[in-house]
Amino acid sequence: MDFYLGLAQIIGIHTLLGLSAYCVLLTGQVSLAQAGFFAIGAYVAGMLTVLAEWPLIPALLAAAVIAGAIACAVGFPALRLRGLMLVVATIAFGESVRLFFFNFDYQITRGNIRVGPLGGEGFRQIRYFPEHGWSTLEVLLFVWMVVTLVMAALWWMDRSRAGAVLRAVGEDEVAAQSTGINITAVKVSAMTVGGVIAGAGGGIFAHYTTHIEHVQFGVVLATFAIAYPILGGLSNVFGTLLAVLFVQGFLIEGLRFLGDWRNLLFGALILLAMNLRPRGLLDAGAIAALRRLSYRKDATGA
C-alpha cells in the first residue's frame, strides 16, 4: 500500500513540474528552464525548513515566490528569442542554476553535525516529513492538495479570458498583438506563473527525497518537464496529468516486469506516442470525442 501511496506522491510532484511547463508552452515558448526553477524551489524550501527551522507551508510559499520572481526576471530577456534560440537559452539558464548549486556551500553546525547544502555533495537530511511524524498517506494528501489547487486554478484560468489570451499569443503572436493584447505582459506572466508552480513542486520534491544535489536538476529533468505537457496535449490540464501517469506510472513502474527491456521501451514508446498522436494523448480531438460520449449517454439516459 505504501508503495502505491509513494508512487502517487511522485506523480503529484511531477505533475507540478509538468504544469509549470504547460503554462509557458501555452504561450508558444518552449522553455527548458523549468528544472532550474524547480531546483531553486527545492534548495530554498530545504534551507528554510532545515536551517531556519520554518514550518513547511511558509517554506513552500517562500520557495514558490522566490522561484516566481526569478522566472519573471528570466521572462524579459526571453521575449527577444524564438524557436531554437529560446530552447538553447533556457537550457543554458537551467544549466547555470545547476552549476550555481554545484558551487554553493552554506552549512551551519547543529548539535554535532553540519547541515546545509555542500556544493557537489548536495544537501542531505531534509527530513521534515519523517521528523514531524507525517505518514505516507498524510504526505500524499498534502501533495495532492497542492496539485489540485494548481490544476483548479489553471482550469479556471483556461475557461476565462486569461486562457484565451494566453492561447492567442501561443497560436499567432502578430494577430494577437493586432487585437491589442500586450504580448510582453502575457509572456512574462506565463513564465512567472510557471516559475511559481515549479518552485512549489521543487520544494515538495526536496522533502520527498530528503537529499538533493545539483545532478538531479539537469537537462534530463528539464526535458521531462516539457515532455509531460507535449505528450499529454496542450488542450487541457488533464492532458499533463495523463502524461505523468503514463510516464511515471506505466513506463517507469508498470513496465518493471519487463526487466532490462523497460529502459529500451521508454524511448521507443515516447517515439511511438508522438508518431501516433502528435498533438498529445489528450488533444482537442480526444476531448471532443469524450464529450460526444457523454452527450450520447445523456441522450440514452433521458
Partner 1 sequence: MDLLDLIDTIQSIADGLLFGATYAMLGIGFTLIFGVMHKINLAYAAASVGAAYASLLILAGVKAPPAVVFLLSAVAGGVLGGIVYVVCFRFIPLVNPLATLMSTVGLLLLIDEIIVHETQGVPLAYPALFSDVIVRAGPFGLRGDLMFVFALGCVSMVVLLLLVYRTRLGLATRAVSQQPTAAQLCGISLDQVNGFTFIVTGVVGGVAGAMTGAAIGMLSPLLSLPLTVKGLIVTVIGGLGSIPGAIIAGLLVGGFENIFQFLRGVSERDLYVMLLLFAFLVFRPGGMFRTSSARE
Partner 2 sequence: MRILAVAIAALLGGAALFVPESTFAQERTVKITGFGAKSGVVRVFGVNSEAALKAAAEEINNSGGVTLGDGTKAKIVVEFLDDRCNAEEGISVVRRIASTDAFIAVGPTCSNVAESLFGILQKKVGDSSDSGLQFPIIADVAAKGGLAKISEWAFRNVPSEFEMYKSLFAWLKTQHPDLKTIYGGVEKDFAHSNATFGVMKEQAAVNGFQLAGQSEWLLADTTFSTQVREMKRADADIVAISAHPFTTCGVLKEMERQGVKPKLLIGLTSSSSIETLQGCAKQAEGIIIPTSFAPVTPEAKMAAERVAKFGGSADLHSAAAYEVMFILRDVIEAQKIMARPDTVAADRVKMREGLAALKETKGLLGKIGRTPDREAIKPFLYVHAKDGSWEVLYNPAS
CA dist., res. 115 & res. 228, Å (int): 34
> Of these, 30, 61, 125, 223, which contacts partner 2 (CB under 8 A)?
125
Give CA 210 to chain center in angstroms.
Answer: 19
Q: Calculate the dihedral angle through the C-alpha atoms of 42, 45, 46, 51, rounding to the nearest 10 degrees.
A: 150
Q: Calculate the dihedral angle through the C-alpha atoms of 101, 57, 149, 5, rounding to the nearest 10 degrees.
A: 80
Q: Does 262 bind partner 2 (CB under 8 A)?
A: yes
Residues in 224-253 at the binding interface with partner 1, rule: CB under 8 A: 226-227, 230-231
Radius of gyration over every alpha carbon of the chain, rounded to an integer in angstroms: 20
Beta strands in 73-130 (DSSP E): 108-110, 113-115
CA dist., res. 297 & res. 302, Å (int): 8
Residues in 28-47 at the binding interface with partner 1, rule: CB under 8 A: 30
Give the cell for residue 272.
511511438
> Of these, 52, 108, 152, 271, which contacts partner 1 (CB under 8 A)?
271
Binding piece for partner 1, criterion CB under 8 A, among 15-23, 128-136, 204-212, 257-265: 257-265
Q: Does 254 bind partner 2 (CB under 8 A)?
A: no
Q: Does 268 bind partner 1 (CB under 8 A)?
A: yes
Q: Does 126 bind partner 2 (CB under 8 A)?
A: yes
> Of these, 148, 160, 184, 263, which contacts partner 1 (CB under 8 A)?
263
Look at residue 79 and give its three-state secondary structure: coil
Can you name the residues that pair with 105 across neighbouring β-strands?
118
Which spans of this chain sit near partner 1 (rule: CB under 8 A)? 25, 30, 77, 80-85, 87-89, 91-93, 95-96, 99-100, 102-103, 119-120, 218-220, 223, 226-227, 230-231, 260, 263-264, 266-271, 273-275, 278-279
Q: Which residues bind partner 2 (CB under 8 A)?
A: 1-4, 6-7, 10, 102, 120-122, 124-127, 129-136, 208-211, 213-216, 252-253, 256, 259-260, 262-263
